[in-house]
Structure 1
Amino acid sequence: MASTDTVHLPGPQTQLAWRPITPEDLDDWHALIRRMVEVDKPGWAEDRADLEHALERPGNDPELDSLLGVDSGGVPRAFGLVNLNPDSVRAIGFGGVDPAWRRRGIGTAVYQWQAARARARVQERQGEDPVLRSYAESDNPSHLALLESTDARVVRYFTEMTRPLDGVLPAAELPDGMEFRTFSEDISERLRLAHNEAFLDHWGSEPRDRENWRFTVGHPQFRPDWSFVVTEKSSGDIAAYQLASYDPESPAIFGYSEGYTELLGVLRPWRGKGIAPAMLAEAMRRFAASGMENAGLGVDTENPSGALRIYEQLGYRPVSRQVVYDLPLDTEPS
């Protein structure tokens, strides 16, 4: 396997100068992503706070794990990132190219750099089937073609869904003995542990440590007033939860304002009791009371829990789909 010494930056054939991303690049980097969003219309786009967090993420080294390509005027035209959680061998690659600079081989160069960097990072870790995981919008043919041209394989599909709130909302209610409790700091740590337990059997999920959880509930788009847990009245135990957010740019991107369910989980002892539909109905009520036009969420299309069917029954409809690709890292690229 390659070592960190052999992970080279893309070459001059890209007509860009390459270097690591620094905090001083945040505004220009975010502007690059906004240019991409205007053309690609993805189901989700990074906020400036997400970019800042990516540079500060524990275990990552921006000098080695980030890449920025700038033109002769110093304007960022492409970027790449490789994230790797502690003890994991599943690296996550993020990146993109300015729409005005596409079809020049720059995306391929960024992906090759990501693969080399990911391979260097996992080589000293123990674990089966190390991969570089990438996410592509299903209606972005150039990104799909890039990934299809490699040894990466499709491993999953995720669907973004939305539901208008201008009609009659679902009347689903909690079972007897359960109640909603709006998010507050005093239950945040208990909720983190409950989330990790609920997602133990979810595909691709890894436990959230305190640092990542603080980022989740401290994000500028997080809405604590729309977020809540479901507790058992007799014991006070957390049975389920829903965390929600609002992107102020959603009207410009999608054409409507949207309250978004970021995380939805039901712990195993309470599954099959109708708690998930009741939580989504409560979320819709809170979204509508705040003037939102739609309720949105994302779903693992192949989730065996039947989540997709539940969402469809509640009136959610697909608006976009992401394709997940894994590139094996246990061999040198072909």
Structure 2
Amino acid sequence: MDVQTWQWKPLHAANVPEILDLILRIEEADDASIRTSASEVESYFHDSHVWRAQGAWVGSELVAFGLARTLADNSGDLPITVSGGVAPEWREHGVGQDLMERQLITSRAVAGELGLDSATVQMYIESSQSVLIDLAREFEFTPHSQFIQMRRSLDMPIDSVETSQYIQIVKLSEDWIKDSRKAHNKVLADATSWTKMNSESWRERISQMEEDWCLVALDLFGDRPRLAGYLLASRFTSDIEGPDGQPIYDEGYVEEIVVLPEWRGKHVASSLIMTAMERFKADGLMHIGLDVIKDANDEGSDLVTVFEHLDFQRVSETYIVTTTV
């Protein structure tokens, strides 16, 4: 291939089709276990976040893109997340190095737009992306935590789980939006790399889920029900294509599962997972997938064991690395 010079230009919501096409080509080449949807790419440009996106073009072809993004109300306690990729045929031509440099420059600009003197920048890297791991290390990113992706076939029997007679699993309704957000901020955002959510960003996140698959676990003991935990789920595709060549969204993906401390060890998480599996299967899906978070102190390893006991298999691992700008 005759290598031509690429030209960087800003990307906007109007570029979603080109960005999605590039991402899907990258995921196909990398044999990614989970594929990105159009709605995910559209969410990159929502007004709830401060974002800057850029693309490398060769003629009319998008050969690389980068995104730096954080919540609009970030006062310095939240990271700026950078993501992107390079078309398979354009790797090893210096585009990745160029993109990494530009990502950090862009992150400084995002921090400046928010009035921040400095900010944490985080990036997600698949364990199989050894070249990117080395590149991140070269740009002084350091390990922060890790996601372990797990999957289970829904063809296998779904066993019932015995839990307290007072625990009820129901669909997430308007009544529990506020409490589920508080649980997210208390359990996930305080302990891991997840970001805290305000009311607007939480509703936006839920709007990206499959409404009928989002669940809450309620403890009915006492004067009024209390939230014991929740589960958010969306629809993903594996490697299957339909007759028209388009991907079939055959996997229910558990985006978040949270159990508040008071109810841990009481099979609440297993009850949420089992109920989700039943709903996925009833809707004709073939698999359930989820992530387990491990921090630098190996917190989260016990959850891997729990899901392995529920017949989940490890699929891949993703590292979260961070640096400061």
TM-score by length of structure 1 reads 0.84
Instruction: Tell me how far apart the structure 2 counterparts of residues 200 and 143 of structure 1 sit (CA, whole Å).
Output: 26
Quick check: 1:274 aligned with 2:267? yes
Q: Does 1:229 align with 2:220?
A: no
Counterpart residue number, 1:79 = 65
Paired residues for 1:161-240 under 5 Å:
161-219=150-208, 222-234=209-221, 235-240=224-229
Deviation at 1:213, TM superposition (A): 1.8
Matches of 2:207 and 2:140 in 1, distance apart? 38
User: Which ranges of structure 2 fall in alignment gaps of 5 or more residues?
Assistant: none
Distance 1:168 1:143 in 2: 39
Q: After superposing the two structures, state which structure 1 stretch, 307-316 or 280-289, moved more.
A: 280-289
> 1:255 deviation in Å?
9.4
Contact 2:169 2:218 in 1 (8 A): yes
Cα-to-partner distance string for 1:131-153 (whole Å, 9 max, x where unaligned): 32111111123322322332112
SS in 2 for 1:291: coil
SS in 2 for 1:216: helix
Matching of residues 1-80 of structure 1 within 5 Å? 15-61=5-51, 65-72=52-59, 74-80=60-66
Write the letter of the residue equivalent to 2:321. Answer: Y
Across the two proteins, how many residue pairs are aligned to each other? 309
Candidates 272, 285, 290, aligned match of 1:297? 290
- TM superposition shift of 1:83: 1.1
Q: Distance in 1 between matches of 2:99 and 2:35?
A: 19
Counting only pairs closer than 5 Å after superposition, residues 314-329 of structure 1 correspond to structure 2 as 314-329=310-325
Per-residue Cα deviation, 1:232-265 (whole angstroms, up to 9, x for no partner): 1132111111111112566349999321111100
Q: Give unmatched runs, 5+ long, in structure 1.
A: 1-12, 330-334
Partner Cα distance (1:291, 1:80) in 2: 35
- Work out whether residues 155 and 326 of structure 1, in 8 Å CA contact, stay in contact via their aligned partners in 2: yes
In structure 2, relative to structure 1, the CA distance for the partners of 1:168 and 1:107 (3 Å cut) is same
Cα 1:44–1:208 shift into 2, 3 Å: farther
Match of 1:246 among 221, 235, 244: 235
Q: 4+ residue runs of structure 1 moved beyond 6 angstroms?
A: 253-256
Q: Deviations over 1:15-46 (max 9, x none)?
A: 11111102221111111111111111334443
CA distance in 2, matches of 1:250, 1:227: 24
Instruction: Give the whole-Å Cα distance in 2 for the aligned partners of 1:30 and 1:256.
Output: 16
Q: Is the 8 A contact 2:70 2:81 kept in 1?
A: yes
Equivalent-residue separation in structure 2 for 1:254 and 1:159 (angstroms): 24
User: Residues 301, 255 of structure 1: CA spacing in aligned structure 2 closer, same or farther, 3 A cutoff?
Assistant: farther
- Which SS does the other structure have where 1:206 is aligned? coil
Amino acid in the other structure paired with 1:243:
L
Contact 1:250 1:256 in 2 (8 A): no
SS in 2 for 1:199: helix
The structure carrying a bigger strand percent of its residues is 2
CA distance in 2: counterparts of 1:217 and 1:250, whole angstroms: 26
Looking at structure 1, the residues matched to 144 and 185 of structure 2 have their Cα atoms a distance apart, in angstroms, of 22
TM-score under structure 2 normalisation?
A: 0.86
Distance 1:192 1:22 in 2: 29
Alignment of 1:90-105 (within 5 A): 90-105=79-94
Structure 1 residues 288-326: Cα deviation after superposition (integer angstroms, max 9, x where no partner) = 222222211011134625211211111111111112221
Cα pair 1:42 1:137 within 8 Å, conserved? no
Residue 3 of structure 1 aligns with which residue?
none
Cα deviation code 1:135-193 (max 9, x no counterpart): 11111233223223321122222111001122222321332211111123343333223
Q: Does the 8 A contact of 1:250 with 1:258 survive in 2?
A: no
1:106 maps to which of 58, 70, 95: 95
**Identity over aligned residues, as a percent?**
25
Calculate the aligned-residue CA RMSD, in Å.
Answer: 2.4
CA distance in structure 2 between the partners assigned to 1:254 and 1:308 by the alignment: 29
